[in-house]
Structure 1
Amino acid sequence: MNQEPITAAADAPRGRFLSMKDVVADTGLSKPTINRLHRAGDFPPKRKLSGNRIGWFESDYLAWKHTRPRAIDDG
């Protein structure tokens, strides 16, 4: 049987798999806010890792995070 090795595509998600808890801690946003942004299409898609494990690939999340506005200088 000739099986090709499993390799990631160039545009495949990379990094850790982030849980809701990880994303809440990093963004400071609440779970309802993250879910609302997700439903509106303003947050990366959730991914199903297993039957009970849903979250985000780190690369998807970081790409979204880098689109957020920078801090305002009230200076």
Structure 2
Amino acid sequence: MRLIRLKEVMQVTGLARSTVYKYIAEEAFPKPVSLGERCVGWVEDEVQDWVVAKIQERNLAKSAAGRPDRLRLAG
């Protein structure tokens, strides 16, 4: 198990610091683990699972709308 700091969370997710904390407050993002008085980290697997869930939501939305996942080229 690996803990990652905010900078890496932002790189992995593409979210800004304020958005990460907003999603945490909304219980829509993994909660950080306290590492000290003013230091937190996130469980890397939990952040990766969140990203995968977002991808799956996107794919389900495409399927529900009847849009193909890939463009087909005429050949």
Higher normalized contact order (CA 8 Å, seq sep 6+, divided by chain length): 1
> Please, which runs of 5 or more residues in structure 1 have no aligned partner?
1-13
- Tell me the TM-score normalized by structure 1: 0.66
Report the count of equivalent residues. Answer: 61
Q: Which structure has the larger Rg over C-alpha atoms?
A: 2
TM normalised by structure 2 equals 0.66
Distance 2:27 2:3 in 1: 20
Please report the RMSD computed on the Cα atoms of aligned residues, expressed in angstroms.
2.0
- Listed as ranges, the gaps of 5+ residues in structure 2 are 63-68
2:15 pairs with 26, 29, 52, which one?
A: 29
Identity %: 26
